[in-house]
Amino acid sequence: MSTTVAVKDFPVINAVVRELRLPEDQPFQKCLVLAVQHVHSSMLALLAGLRCGGADPASVTVVGKSYSTRLPAVEALRAAGARVVDPLRMADPLHSYEDELAAQVTSTIAELRPRLGAGTGLLVIDEGAVATKALLQTGDADLLSRVHVVEQTTRGARWTEAAAPPFPVVDVARSAAKADLEGPLVTASMVDGLSMALTALNHRPERIGIVGYGRMGARLAGLLSADHAVVVHDTAAQNLAAARADGRRVLERDALFDEVDVLIGCTGSPILDAGDLAAVTRPLVLVNGASSDIEFAVWRYRTAAAILPGSGGTADQPWLNHYAVGPTSRQVLVAGGFPTNFHLPGEPISPQDFQVTRALMLAGATQTMNRSEPGLVPLDAAAQAIVADAYGQVTSLSGR
């Protein structure tokens, strides 16, 4: 993989660099950068964009999410001068990966703290509010006064909104551009990952249940209903109304568990734990359609003995394995309970497509560095338009 990625090779990121005047304004010149991100090849394009805005690659630290990290991207980022922190393994698969990631980010922040000299800021490119939580836990008023954050996930944006941090945060997660441009790409990759996993398990489901009828759940229901009976559950009145308006059959949670062959969680929160699983008496395939491994709090079943044929990892890489779970081992946890699209070989979304997300985060990073007021604010509409227009030209030129 080339380490000499230039923004001109990524026209959507190039549009953000040009239209937001990053070379002229140099918003990242006097800051360290901490990125908690999926480490794919498109991270090189984001790094190139940060460099255009004045960031020194040596000032950039990327904490990868091991379940999604691609090793060639790690090597390319390091060759380009950035620091990448990622063990590529779990120390204890019998607990949530979020615990280990939080500890890794906390340790990284402690290592960065002495480098924050007078006049140096800390730009955080966050995913799931992992770094935001760790920063708040420091209680370090001077450190917090230097922080500027851009948040990528809805789960992280909701948490941040409730926490009301004393530093500026830009919400890319719930922007219309992210929903409209990235959403279909992620949904398609989720379906591809699900198809691959079901083939490996030799499983042909008739009914699929989706818990969480937000943007992702609704899109998945639309794609999967072409070949399967789909039923849904949600606790939010707005989402229930949307599901019924879309003609979806809606069930209570436990009734849904009793009827479907495959259960897909799309909430960003735990929907089933070991106690719930013990009450499920029929075979059920559990699939994560959200992020990390928190949809199914059944980590204690991720033992080496429970790994099923068709898996591809070692015991300390649970995201590469399928598991027989539950008291009677009649249920299956696909991809260790991690998002099914990252179980795909290669990268789940091409770098030319995923640049749209990196471009939105670059725009959000620029916006947050130009703010001093604390709290969460939406991504600027003009920046969203820049990304949407540039991506429209990319897809038009490629004939899509």
Q: For residue range 148-176, what is the model confidence (pLDDT) as tens digits?
A: 999 999 999 999 999 999 999 999 999 99
Q: What whole-number distance in Å separates Cα of residue 17 and Cα of residue 186?
A: 25
Q: Tell which wins on pLDDT, 19 or 4.
A: 19
Beta bridge partners of 378: 171
CATH domain 7-179+349-385 topology? Rossmann fold (3.40.50)
Backbone CA torsion sign across 52, 54, 60, 66: negative
Q: What percent of the chain has pLDDT over 90?
A: 93
Please state, in angstroms and rounded to a whole number, the distance separating the CA atoms of residues 25 and 18. Answer: 11
- Residue 172, both tokens: 């890319």
CB 316 within 8 A of CB 291: no
Provide the pLDDT for residue 400.
66
Largest CA distance in the chain: 63
User: Same CATH topology for 7-179+349-385 and 183-343?
Assistant: yes
pLDDT classification of 177: cutoffs 50, 70, 90:
very high
* Average pLDDT rounded to a whole number, residues 382-395: 96
| Beta-bridge partners for 337 | none
- Is residue 272 left, alpha or beta, with left meaning phi > 0 and alpha meaning psi from -120 to 50? beta
Contacts of 90 (CB under 8 A, 6+ apart): 66, 97, 100, 316, 317, 318
pLDDT of 226 over the 80 cut = yes
Rounded-to-integer distance, Cα 98 and Cα 93, Å: 11
Confidence of residue 3 (pLDDT cuts 50, 70, 90): very low
Mean predicted confidence (pLDDT) in 318-327: 96
Average confidence score pLDDT of the chain? 95
**146, HSE (Cβ side, Cα atoms, 13 Å):** 24
Beta strand 121-126 with 323-325 is unpaired
Domain ranges of the chain: 7-179+349-385, 183-343
Output the CATH code of domain 183-343: 3.40.50.720
For residue 208, the surrounding DSSP H or E stretch is strand 207-211
- Which helix (H) or strand (E) element contains residue 303? none
Angstrom distance (rounded) from CA 307 to CA 133: 33
The helix or strand, by DSSP H or E, that contains position 36, with its residue range, turns out to be strand 31-37
- The answer to whether residue 2 scores a pLDDT higher than 50 is no
Residue 297 in 3-state DSSP? strand
Contact assessment for residue 364 and residue 386, using Cβ atoms and an 8 Å cutoff: no
Question: Which helix (H) or strand (E) covers residue 324, if one does?
Answer: strand 323-325
pTM of the model: 0.95
Contacts 24+ apart (CB under 8 A), 228-237: 231/207, 231/256, 231/259, 231/260, 232/256, 233/209
Three-state SS sequence of 73-139:
HHHHHHHCCCEEECCCCCCCCCCCHHHHHHHHHHHHHHHHHHHCCCCCEEEEEECCCHHHHHHHHHC
Output the six-digit token pair for 63.
């904490």
Instruction: Report, as an integer, the average pLDDT of 177-197.
Output: 96
Mean pLDDT confidence for 334-342: 96
Which tokens belong to 187? 């949904």
Closest alpha carbon to 302 in 271, 324, 280: 324
Q: Nearest to residue 287, comparing CAs of 181, 184, 216, 215?
A: 216
